[in-house]
Structure 1
Amino acid sequence: MLISTLAALTSFAVNESTNRAQSPISFAARAAANYLTAKQLHESVQTNSTFAWQFARACFDRAEFSTNDTERATLALQGIAACREILAREFTNAAAHYYLGMNLGQLARTKMLGALPIVDEMEAEFKTAKLYDSAFDHAGPDRCLGLLYLDAPTLGSVGSRRKARQHLELAAKAAPEYPENYLNLTEAFLRWRDVAAARTHFKQLEALLPAARTNLTGDAWAASWSDWDRRIKKAGKQLEQPPKPAGHR
């Protein structure tokens, strides 16, 4: 799916601590509870920009557990509307641009050919978010741009290996303490079959993990660690495999 990796861009809150095994059901239940709380806060003071973008974030998180496209699109449109409300009165709000791009991504996942125009809008929103606050969400604008360029088709859309590498590297440089950034770089270079570069970034990731496991703790990080640990294990296994002979497909 065109923007499938956007699923990993934000952390989801769950009931259990990061030290216990958790099920997708518990993640979904916590995301649903957070969505209802954020919606109530947003509706109580609709002119509060912080409540609005936090509701948009909750819409994105909740949409990750949608069981059908109709539900996903409904949640995405709510998040999009909340962000547009902010931007109508406060165009320089980086969080609003960022979560507008994220929820547009959820909406794009419900489309087929109709997703391509949405991808262009996502790119514009992430670029604007970067302009106003490149550090937001652990260098989130660069991370999202990198993943967008990585996943999008090169023909007829914005896909670009050069741009993907540029923005993923910028994210890792700006927020090296955030495991997702070096993990994305590792996965990208594995996809490009540049094992040496992937191994370099994987070692950088391994070096920062002890501090990250100490600093990024609690319920709010549980789903992120569940996702990261799975992907770290997969990348490690790929890097253990012997290199393929030249010309091997």
Structure 2
Amino acid sequence: MAFSTLFSTAETNSTNTVSRPISPEQHARNAYLTYQARFEINPSHPELAWQFSRAAFDWAEFASNNRQREQIALQGIAAARRGIVLETNSVPAHYYLGMNLGQLARTKSIGALKLVGEMEREFKKVRVLDETYDFAGPDRNLGLLYLEAPSSFSIGDRKKAREHLLKAVELSPTYPENRLNLIEAYLKWNDSKSAQTAFNELEQIWTAARKEFAGEEWRTSWVDWEKRRSKALEKLRSMTPRR
């Protein structure tokens, strides 16, 4: 996910100014503090509410422990709920409510199951309002939710997972995250044929995606995508019978 504010900082001496890229972690922290301050000054502004919720989600990605992640996620949840009160059909507010509920769920074990239903409702709501938001984010997140949740005592459902992950690829075909999620799902289900087909399709858009999603704000995403692409290829090779 792209971050949302400044991507570099400047060091100044007596003769010149040198701009240096800051780390993704520092950038996320800066954005979080910036939007937190803005939201505290004007808590009745719906756009500031969801912007702070988004920044909270991004910053929670770098949490060093569950306690910190929980604290940040709860702030993001509260801001998103405030945004929904201010603007009932705010797509970003509903979306980042679901995303921050996901961050909170990461800090729980059995308690995470209580959050799953609300996450599902929020992403379904966003899907109705704008299915293309965040590169088909509603379908992407619903697909992952159905993929990862237990099927015996929660909402886990392979058929629904496949349906939504495929829909995310259909809606935003050049976004690598969508295709990687689909490949990883097929590998999890030991469907090597479908995984290989999806991987070949990923390869076809990879170079163009490099150009489309370029810049400092995508650096962390590409590190993750490259790692997952390599891991998927390795897994596919291990599943292919030797001749």
- TM value normalised by structure 2: 0.89
> What fraction of aligned residue pairs are identical, expressed as a percent?
49
Which whole-Å CA distance do the structure 2 matches of 1:35 and 1:226 have between them? 22
The 5 A counterparts of 1:1-249 are 10-12=1-3, 26-243=23-240
Which shows bigger deviation, 62-71 or 191-200? 62-71
Give me the whole-angstrom Cα distance separating, in 2, the residues matched to 1:164 and 1:231: 19
Whole-Å separation in 1 of the counterparts to 2:54 and 2:239? 41
Match of 1:21? none
Structure 1: which amino acid aligns with 2:111? G
Kindly indicate whether structure 1 or structure 2 has the higher relative contact order, using CA contacts under 8 Å at least 6 residues apart. 1
Structure 2: unaligned runs, 5 residues or longer: 9-21
Deviations, residues 180-200 of structure 1 (Å, cap 9, x unaligned): 011111111011111110011
Kept in 1: contact 2:46–2:86 (CA 8 A):
no
Residue equivalent to 2:13? none
Measure the CA separation in 2 of the matches of 1:155 and 1:173: 29
Kindly name which structure, 1 or 2, has the bigger radius of gyration based on alpha carbons.
2
The offset of 1:244, in angstroms, is 5.7
Q: Which amino acid in structure 2 is aligned with residue 137 of structure 1?
A: D
Distance of 2:212 and 2:60 partners within structure 1: 27
**Greater percentage in strand:** 2
Q: Deviations for 1:125-147, whole angstroms, at most 9, x for unmatched residues?
A: 11111111111000000000000
Please say if residues 47 and 83 of structure 2, whose CA atoms lie closer than 8 Å, have aligned partners that are also in contact: no
Give the TM-score, by structure 1 length.
0.87
How much has 1:42 moved relative to structure 2? 2.2
Give the aligned residue type for 1:218.
G
Code of the residue aligned with 1:177 in structure 2: it is T
CA distance in structure 2 between the aligned counterparts of 1:49 and 1:188, rounded to whole angstroms:
36
Q: Cα deviation per residue 1:18-62 (whole Å; 9 max; x = unaligned)?
A: xxxxxxx93322211121122123223323222221211111111
Query: How many residue pairs were aligned?
Result: 228
Cα–Cα, structure 1 residues 111 and 209, in superposed 2: closer, same or farther, change >3 Å? same
Q: Deviations over 1:210-241 (max 9, x none)?
A: 11111111111111111001001111111222
